[in-house]
């Protein structure tokens, strides 16, 4: 089957769209093949629409301020009964102009639960509590399923750190300080999952491992979209998300603290592109024993997540 470019889809924006019946929202996390997933679904948006599914491209969602509304200071939104009456209209106002018509809507935006830098807080993605509470109000009007992709901490944390350096200067002490804290008390995916379920107890949550994505992307994307996908375009791995070298990380860490965000991002991307990561030069800050300890913590998280129900953790 051939694939049409997403910008070739046409629709009459003056038509009143039918209300959304199903929200299928991929929350992230960062550095779990989200960019590849988003590019793949953007490429087949017309085909998805033919099956009654609309994927709103993540850059479009980002440009129209969904995350801004989810994290905006709003005293009324802190009160549960006011949040339920206010937020659905606010979020619908952001998302409705982006729809192409189908009543099942898919969104994938890793910043829905925070930034890549939030992976290094004492609590994994601490801002997720606010965004999930507000996002879940859409379930007042339609069915909703949350999706989450996770990854072993020994590879996830260095990748998230490299991404975070594009946005802001390093924490004091650089990754060495982050590493000491992480090894003393590893973060927990299970803890994040528990928080999501506590905040949105009536909403289904489905989780897959990033390590399964490459071999099982058809099954994963079919589950996310709620329809069978047989033929997917071959999308190359995005170069801008490739793992940088240790040399590049050091250059990024050494940038002036006061550098404005646009200039910082440009300088970091330049450093990453000029210092290609050969196999033996990649930014791999954990020793073999440290990696094994973090992998063990990840496996414990997976076991506890699997215990939440047969359909929570995807198995292949």
By the 8 A CB rule, do 199 and 129 touch?
Answer: yes
pLDDT tens track for 139-197: 999 999 999 999 999 999 999 999 999 999 998 889 999 999 999 998 999 999 999 99
CB atoms near residue 289 (< 10 Å): 8
Q: How does DSSP classify residue 282?
A: B
Q: What is the pLDDT of residue 162?
A: 95
Q: What number does CATH give the domain 17-153+186-238+297-306? A: 3.40.50
Segment 103-132, tens digit of pLDDT: 999 999 999 999 999 998 779 999 999 999
80: phi > 0 → left, psi -120 to 50 → alpha, else beta; which?
alpha
Q: What is the pLDDT of residue 82?
A: 80
Q: What percent of the chain has pLDDT over 90?
A: 77
Q: Measured between alpha carbons, how far is 107 from 58 in angstroms, rounded to an integer?
A: 7
Which residue stretches of 226-284 are H helix? 246-253, 261-274
pLDDT in tens, 208-244: 999 999 999 999 999 999 999 988 999 988 766 667 8
CA distance 289 to 15: 60
Q: Give 1-59 pLDDT, tens digit per residue.
A: 333 334 334 444 445 889 999 999 999 999 999 999 999 999 999 999 999 999 999 99
Per-residue pLDDT at 275: 64
pTM of the full structure: 0.91
Backbone region of residue 125 per phi and psi (left: phi > 0; alpha: psi in -120 to 50; beta: other values) = left
């Amino acid at each position: 089957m051939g694939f049409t470019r997403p910008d070739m889809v046409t629709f009459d924006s003056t038509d009143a769209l039918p209300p959304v019946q199903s929200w299928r929202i991929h929350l992230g996390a960062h550095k779990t093949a989200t960019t590849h997933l988003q590019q793949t679904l953007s490429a087949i948006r017309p085909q998805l629409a033919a099956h009654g599914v609309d994927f709103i491209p993540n850059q479009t969602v980002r440009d129209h301020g969904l995350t801004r509304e989810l994290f905006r200071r709003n005293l009324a939104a802190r009160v549960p009964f006011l949040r339920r009456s206010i937020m659905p209209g606010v979020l619908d106002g952001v998302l409705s102009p982006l729809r192409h018509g189908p009543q099942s809507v898919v969104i994938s935006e890793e910043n829905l639960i925070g930034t890549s830098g939030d992976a290094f807080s004492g609590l994994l993605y601490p801002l997720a509590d606010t965004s999930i509470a507000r996002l879940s109000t859409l379930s007042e009007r339609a069915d909703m399923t949350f999706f989450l992709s996770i990854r072993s901490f020994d590879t996830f944390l260095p990748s998230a750190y490299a991404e975070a350096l594009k946005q802001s200067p390093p924490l004091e002490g650089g990754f060495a300080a982050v590493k000491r804290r992480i090894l003393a008390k590893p973060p927990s995916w299970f803890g994040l999952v528990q928080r999501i379920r506590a905040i949105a107890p009536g909403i289904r949550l489905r989780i897959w491992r990033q390590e399964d994505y490459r071999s099982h992307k058809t099954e994963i994307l079919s589950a996310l979209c709620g329809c069978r996908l047989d033929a997917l375009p071959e999308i190359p791995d995005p170069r801008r998300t490739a793992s940088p070298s240790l040399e590049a990380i050091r250059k990024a860490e050494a940038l002036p603290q006061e550098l404005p965000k646009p200039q910082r991002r440009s300088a970091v991307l330049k450093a990453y592109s000029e210092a290609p990561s050969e196999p033996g030069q990649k930014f791999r800050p954990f020793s073999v024993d440290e990696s094994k300890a973090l992998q063990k913590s990840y496996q414990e998280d997976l076991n506890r997540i699997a215990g939440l129900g047969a359909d929570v953790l995807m198995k292949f």
